[in-house]
Chain A
Amino acid sequence: MALNVTDLRVYYRTLRGEVKALDGVTFSVADGEIMGLAGESGSGKSTLAKSLIRLDGRMRHVGGTVELDGAAMPLSDDDAMDEFRFRKVSLIPQYSMSALNPTRKIGRMVGELLDSRGERPDRAELERRLELVGLSKDVLDRYPIELSGGMKQRVVMVVSTLLNPSLLIADEVTSALDVSSQKAVATTLLGFRDRGLVTSMMVVTHDISLVYQIADSIMVMYAGRLAEKAPADVLVTAPRHPYTQQLVSALPEVGVRYEDRRLAGIPGSPPSLLKPPGGCRFRDRCPLAFDQCAEQPPFAEVAPGHLVACWKAE
């Protein structure tokens, strides 16, 4: 198992109290697995991604453990986490475009970054990797401003996978891109795994149709908790959690026209995570809700590799 997360809780400190952004999630990502992490804004998917790299000042690790390749990650110890960052876990941020220092040439920046991790830059390997994502080695002698948004994105992708991390987290990397570049970036991610440059991957997105294209499995979050995790095909064709079911059926596809089939959204809105209600958090919006939902359902395996947090799923 590459990644094992057990009952992880991360809260945000705000002036009005603690927001329970990540409230007890347990899951694992296998070696070689590309897991899509889907959810709406406020579902906790970004908090989960950030927690595995760096807790920002407002985030507090309240409980739970994270194990990567058998070693426990010290989430709340920023210095000790340096051991893991970049080498074992790496992140492609959402705004890669601004992740590059504008005053440094790309090559020098990469060198400095490797230096700070005590690694020796391997120029030939770097050039080979750039070629892999369709960039020529000339970009190393250019400034970030001379590259297009898509090129910068690819540079960041190469840099963050340079040390062959065990886990790569891609945080909404395609959301700001056009349809055609989305496809290029997504297939590049797939290529990283297929060539063994990264062992497993977590692709955070709000776009289920996109992540379905490259992921082996998809995990859906709702209001700080896990709703469902299943192989990508199963999640899209036969979801078991009522939230996933409604979410998937609310997605318009090319070919679907509202005159033929009027899709419906999910009525209501997610609960506030300042003082979330007890029990299942989807209860208020759920058409299947019944008495037992006042109790939090476990995230239980209903079929091999298919986990659902719903009393009605079994």
Chain B
Amino acid sequence: MLKLDGVSKVYRVGAFGGRELKAVSDVSFEVGEGEVVSLIGESGSGKSTLGRMILRLASVSGGTITLDGRDITSIKDRKEYYRQVQGVFQDPFSCYNPVFRADRVFAMIKEQYFPRAGADEWRKRVEGALESVRLDPGNVLGKYPHQLSGGQLQRMLIARAVLLDIRLLVADEIISMLDASTRIDVLNLLADLRARGLGILFVTHDLSLGNYVSDRTVVLRHGKIVEMGRTDLVFGSPAHPYTRSLLASVPRLHAKWTDAEMTDAVEDVPCAYHEAPQESRTRPGLAEIDSDHYVACADKEKA
């Protein structure tokens, strides 16, 4: 459904844009229908930039992003694109205009997409969408953003996306600002949406969250893909030293770091990319070491 092909993003910085800053370089992956893909990376990995490019909030410097084979920048009518692709962001409080009531995010959708819907009919649709994200309409409608909790606000934003017949949702760090007792419920919502056939790009820095919800995983570092593929393969048998060190650093509940330290000694492991036969290098810079498990060369970074 959504396909990124050699996508890169270059920022011009300094006087007269003299210097170039490559935030994303040559990234290719796909998100299919009914599939959750996690995009995992630390700060500065370019993961949010990728999300913004897919949402057309940032321009694409190189490569193409296509939706069902159509270059998304060629879709002149943004509204038509946004009917199919929507986003939810990290900070729920900043997503609401503090001057207005929170349910204005729904009114905006009505105004732009369903101007002719009757008030009663629209109200029913909103209530239906709220119930689908497990919110009681009576509790949240008519309130101001500062009167609601982060979890409620974030769910309302998901409900907003659901009001349109979207096919792809870009969820950019949507639970990192929520409390532990509510974040899992929002995460489960994504799983519910997936069951309804939506494709979801789940951008996160938290490996355990990505692992919990996603079918496929893309690990980014400094704007490049270091490893990607089926989540169970990437997390179960990580091939790139960066992925391994990330996994070793993640705090776990029942294993202390010291126990995991043993797997930390990865420097002597030969580069999986070079170990793989020549014909497995089906994608530029990546070798397919298992079915749907790609890894980038690690030697290059050591040098």
- Listed in ascending order, the chain A residues whose CB lies under 8 Å from chain B are 40-41, 178-180, 182-183, 186-187, 206-210, 212-213, 236-237, 246-248, 250-258, 262-266, 269
Tell me whether B187 and A209 are in contact (CB under 8 A): no
Tell me whether B181 and A250 are in contact (CB under 8 A): yes
Chain A proximity of B211: nearest CB distance (Å): 5
How far apart are the CA atoms of A214 and B118 in the complex, in Å? 58
Tell me whether A250 and B253 are in contact (CB under 8 A): no
Do A40 and B180 form a contact, CB below 8 Å, given A212-B256, A254-B211, A255-B235? yes
With A254-B208, A265-B181, A265-B188 known, 5 other A-B pairs at CB within 8 A are A212-B251, A247-B181, A264-B185, A265-B184, A266-B182
When distances are taken between beta carbons in the complex, the residues of chain B under 8 Å from A213 are: 251, 256-257
How far apart are the CA atoms of A47 and B40 in the complex, in Å? 33
Tell me whether A212 and B253 are in contact (CB under 8 A): yes
Tell me whether B180 and A208 are in contact (CB under 8 A): yes
When distances are taken between beta carbons in the complex, the residues of chain B under 8 Å from A212 are: 251, 253, 256
Do A269 and B42 form a contact, CB below 8 Å, given A213-B251, A254-B207, A258-B187? no
Tell me whether A180 and B211 are in contact (CB under 8 A): no
Contact of A180 among B212, B249, B253 (CB under 8 A): B249
Tell me whether B253 and A251 are in contact (CB under 8 A): yes
Can you name 30 A-B residue pairings with CB atoms under 8 Å?
Answer: A40-B181, A41-B150, A178-B205, A179-B207, A179-B250, A182-B249, A182-B251, A209-B253, A210-B251, A213-B251, A213-B256, A236-B253, A248-B253, A250-B180, A251-B208, A252-B184, A252-B208, A252-B209, A252-B212, A253-B208, A256-B212, A257-B212, A257-B213, A258-B213, A263-B184, A263-B188, A263-B212, A265-B188, A269-B151, A269-B182
When distances are taken between beta carbons in the complex, the residues of chain B under 8 Å from A236 are: 253-254
Tell me whether A179 and B181 are in contact (CB under 8 A): no
Main secondary structure of the interface of A (DSSP, over half): loop
When distances are taken between beta carbons in the complex, the residues of chain A under 8 Å from B211 are: 252, 254-257
Residue-by-residue, is B227-251 near A (CB-CB < 8 Å gives 1, otherwise 0)?
A: 0000110010000000001110111
Tell me whether A247 and B208 are in contact (CB under 8 A): no
When distances are taken between beta carbons in the complex, the residues of chain A under 8 Å from B222 are: none
When distances are taken between beta carbons in the complex, the residues of chain A under 8 Å from B187 are: 252, 258
Is B104 positioned at the interface, with any CB of A under 8 Å from its CB? Answer: no
Across the interface, name the chain A residue whose C-beta is closest to B256.
Answer: A213
Across the interface, name the chain A residue whose C-beta is closest to B211.
Answer: A254
Chain B proximity of A180: nearest CB distance (Å): 5
How far apart are the CA atoms of A41 and B209 in the complex, in Å? 20
When distances are taken between beta carbons in the complex, the residues of chain A under 8 Å from B251 are: 182-183, 186, 207, 209-210, 212-213
